[in-house]
Amino acid sequence: MPILSDLRELWGHRDLLLQFAFNDLKHRYIGSLMGVFWMVINPIIELATYTFVFHVLMQQNFTPQGGVVHYSLFLFCGMVAWFAVADGLNRATTAITSHAHLIKKVNFPAAVLPAHMVLSAVFNQGVRTCILALGAIFLGNGLSIHFLLVPPFILLQTLFVAGLAFFLSTAQVYFRDTAHWVNAGLLAWMFITPIFYPADAYPQQAQLLLQLNPLAHVVGIYQELILNQRLPNPRQMILVTVFSVGFFVAGYSVFAHHRKNFADLV
């Protein structure tokens, strides 16, 4: 299959992909006073803000008996997944148009450009997941053997985000307003995903929206594995797998089909 051939080619450029991802992280944090600590500080500031607004002011809880610490752990768990998705999509959307000088080079592997943005966001997620794990150990109920299943689900999430990234970066080449629509869409997506409130808060008439939201299932799986210390609902795992593989195949197919036109359009 052509897509398998393309993916083998991308795998053959894995060293270039890793180099681009590390350089991206370096350029984002080197030179600032606190460097890489900003990948920790920013989420903590947002965590404190959202905890105050949704828990203290709006009295949201993930369980009836949960307090501030309990709410913050569940909120941070959802935010870790959300930051990886939003950061990867935001920056990958313009990856082709902002690297026109590379796209015009002969035989440059264009797929590396959106892919390294997604990979950079995954590295950030890894650091934040470690912080969440420490929070669960010292402030929550600790970790269980189920935590070992987190890396495979991060891989599935990465496939899902990469598929969307390939599609959106292609759309940006043809429609330069795509990045603005992505920003607006991500804001709406964040609030309709059970990050700041439990999934049980969804009214019955909106259950279809919840079930069709891939990120809702991703957040739920992380909360189950890390904080509730149990296996997720099998239906959730199946849905995440189907969404991830389906979006990746569809997104990369669109990217591969239009890739030959990029040099003439950027």
pLDDT digits 0-9 by tens, 79-132: 999 999 999 999 999 999 998 888 888 778 899 999 999 999 999 899 889 989
- The residue segments making up the domain with residue 214 are 2-31+77-265
pLDDT at 265: 85
239 pLDDT higher than 70: yes
- Taking CA 51 as the corner, what is the angle to CA 50 and CA 53, rounded to the nearest 5 degrees? 60
Residues 221-248: what's their mean pLDDT? 93
> Is 54 inside a domain boundary?
no
Residues 224-249: what's their mean pLDDT? 93
2 pLDDT higher than 70: no
- Taking CA 76 as the corner, what is the angle to CA 70 and CA 79, rounded to the nearest 5 degrees? 145
> Is 120 inside a domain boundary?
yes
Residues 34-63: what's their mean pLDDT? 78
> Is 36 inside a domain boundary?
no
23 pLDDT higher than 90: no
Mean pLDDT, rounded, of the chain: 88
> Is 43 inside a domain boundary?
no
Q: State the total domains in the chain.
A: 1
pLDDT at 1: 56
Residue with the bigger pLDDT between 7 and 103: it is: 103
**pTM of the shown model:** 0.90
> Is 231 inside a domain boundary?
yes
pLDDT at 100: 86
Residues 227-246: what's their mean pLDDT? 93
Half-sphere exposure of 140 (CA within 13 A, CB side): 24
> Is 235 inside a domain boundary?
yes
> Is 157 inside a domain boundary?
yes
Residues 178-207: what's their mean pLDDT? 92
> Is 38 inside a domain boundary?
no
